Structure formats: C-alpha cells, structure tokens
Amino acid sequence: MAQNDENLANLDLNELRAEIDEIDQAMQALIIRRTRVVQAVGAFKDRQIAQGSKVHVPYRPAREARIMRTLVRRHDGAFPKTALIQIWRELIAAGTRLEAPYTVALCRDADGQDCWELARLNFGCLNEIVEFDSQLEAIHALEDGRAAVGVFPAPVPGEGHSWWPLIGPESAVRVVSKLPFGGRPVGRGEDTEGFVLAAIELEESGDDRTLFVVTVDLPGDEAALRKDFAKACPGSAILGVFTPDATNHCFVLVDVPGFLCNQGENFRRTLLDHGLKCGDVRVLGAYGVPIPADEM
C-alpha cells in the first residue's frame, strides 16, 4: 500500500521493503510501457525513411535536451539530479537501440584525450563504441554510415590539430550536442567536455548555440580577432583557429548564442558591418545548451 512520508517512520524493515517492491513493480511496468511507445516511434521513423527521408539515425538530441531539462525542472527530494539524468540516459539509449542499433565512433585528440566515459554515459551500456586511429577515419565512418554518432573532445583554443577543419562543406556530418549535458561523473573523465557529431538534421531545443566556421583574412594577431568577434557578436566564443599551409586566410570556429542555422548570411553581414574581413560562413552545427551546474 502506498504510504505517506509521515507513516514511513512507523514501518518495520519488512514493511519498508514491501513498499520498495511495490514501487519497483510500478516503475518497471512504466518502463515496459515506455518501450512499446519508443518502438512505435521507431516504426514511424521507418515509414518516413521508406518515404524518402535521408535521416536514418534515430537519435534526436534536441528532443532529448527538452526531456532532460523537464526532468531537472520538476525534480524534488533527495535523489541526485545527476543520477536521475543517468537513469534516463540508459532508458533513452536502450530505447533508441531498439529503433535501430547503432555504433558510437571515438577518437583521441592530439593530446591523447578521449571521450570514452562521456560516450558510455550518454549512449548507454549496450551501444558498441568503436575507437578509430585517426579523427579523419572517425569522421569518414560517420559520413558513410559505419557509425551513427561520434563523440569528439571539445576544441581547446590554441590546440594544434583539431577535428573540426576535417569536416568539409559538402559533408552531412554536423555537431548536434554538447556533453556532458546535465551533471558530471565523479572521477575519471569528470573534466572532459565533448561534442556529439552525427549526419542528422539540426533541430531547436529551446535553448541552443550555433557553431559557425568563418573564413577570414589572416589577422595580425589572434587576440585582435577575438576582440573583433566579441564586439560583433556578444556572447560568442572562438573555439579554434585553423590556418591552412601557404594561404592568406584562416578558418575560425565560433560558438554563437541562439539557434541560427538558417542565418549564416545574416551572421556574415554582421561580421562585415563590424569590419571583419570574412568570406564564407558555414554552419558546423548547433547544440542544446547543457544544464548549468548550479541547476543540477
């Protein structure tokens, strides 16, 4: 029998355990029911694919971001929100696998940093994680469908080689999420941040940031470039600058507040208006803003 909190203190151990058994049974029945609904979602997506949809990966990070934010917002009581999110990570990852099994691609960065913990925690205990020898190979695996998602270390300003310049303008691969999304694990991997890459459509989650790759004339110094971008676009951050050999231009990876995937041209004009000598502006991706640590 469901007990009020006040009554719990009057129960003996057997009665308390009977209460837990009842709750576990109710939760399991709901997991069974949720799974049937997820399978129906999978069947719906299969029909969309049969009708010509190009997206074959069931993963929908914007929807997941909305689910996680709602969980955290309505939570109450002593159970930690980070662990609550982790329960749903397993639920969602295992369910997505039922829609279509998928492989997670990983690659270490030039400093040997990898995102294994991030990948395991986000994509669950059942999905295969394949480690590639080079970042280019991992990106190719995403492009040709050998892997559905990839987790790559978030670029660090000033690092020598990053993966993002390897994604060409014709590639269907995009940055679609930032990890960890809510809460951090304790211990190994607790400081690692990563981006999820996948060949899927970009969708709004209600609180998003957009990644642009901007081609600019080689600046006198990088500090001036950062200042110019900050002035042109408040709240933006330069995550990386890549200068191809023997050229007089560089590519700048800039992280901008808002879901601006159809506004590359507007963004370019804003930069030009602020005196930045920029050429092409292309969208590398967009991601739901992770839940801030002080809300967890």
Alpha helices in 51-129 (DSSP H): 61-74, 81-99, 116-123
Q: Which is nearer to ligand PRE, 67 or 230 (CB)?
A: 67
The residues, any chain, with a CB within 8 Å of residue 287's CB and separated by 6 or more, are: 61, 175, 176, 177, 178, 195, 196, 208, 209, 211
Residue in 3, 19, 41, 100 binding ligand PRE, rule: CB under 6 A: 41
Asked if 182 interacts with ligand PRE (CB under 6 A), we say no
In the bound complex, what is the minimum distance in angstroms from residue 47's beta carbon to ligand PRE? 13
Nearer to ligand PRE, 82 or 205 (CB): 205
Residues 263 and 281: their CA atoms lie apart, in Å, by 10
Query: Taking the CA of residue 284 as centre, how many other CA atoms within 13 Å lie in the half-sphere pointing to its CB?
Result: 26
* Residue 208 contacts ligand PRE per CB under 6 A: no
Q: Which stretch binds ligand PRE (CB under 6 A): 53-61, 71-79, 243-251, 282-290?
A: 53-61
Shortest distance in whole angstroms from residue 41 CB to ligand PRE: 4
Q: Taking CB under 6 A as the rule, does residue 109 contact ligand PRE?
A: no
Omega within 30 of 0 (cis) for the link into 180: yes
Strands 103-106 and 149-153: parallel
Under 8 Å between Cβ of 202 and 144:
no
Q: Please tell me whether residue 122 binds ligand PRE under the rule CB under 6 A.
A: no
Question: Rounded to a whole number, what is the distance in angstroms from the first to the last CA of the chain?
Answer: 32
Q: Decide whether 11 or 37 has the Cβ nearer to ligand PRE.
A: 37
User: Tokens standing for 69?
Assistant: 């934010």
Q: What is the rounded distance in angstroms from the CA atom of residue 254 to the CA atom of residue 263?
A: 14
Cβ proximity to ligand PRE: between 97 and 226 the closer is 97
Least distance (Å) between residue 64 CB and ligand PRE: 5
Is 96 a residue that touches ligand PRE (CB under 6 A)?
yes
Which residue, 38 or 256, has its beta carbon nearer to ligand PRE? 38
Binder of ligand PRE out of 57, 59, 175, 209 (CB under 6 A): 59
Q: Distance between CA atoms of 256 and 254, rounded to whole angstroms?
A: 6
| Continuous segment of H or E residues that includes residue 22 | helix 13-50
Q: From CA 89, how far away is CA 186, in angstroms rounded?
A: 16
Pick 58 or 189: Cβ nearer ligand PRE: 58
- 57, 85, 92, 260: residue in contact with ligand PRE (rule CB under 6 A): 92
Contacts of 123 (CB under 8 A, 6+ apart): 89, 93, 104, 129, 149, 151
Kindly state the smallest distance separating residue 80's Cβ from ligand PRE, in Å: 21
Question: Which member of 57, 65, 82, 95 binds ligand PRE (CB under 6 A)?
Answer: 95
Site for ligand PRE in 61-80 (CB under 6 A): 63-64, 67
Partners of residue 179 on adjacent β-strands: 194
**Closer Cβ to ligand PRE, 99 or 228, answer by number:** 99
In the bound state with ligand PRE, the residue whose beta carbon lies nearer, of 88 and 242, is 88
Chain residues in the site for ligand PRE (CB under 6 A): 38, 41, 58-60, 63-64, 67, 92, 95-96, 99
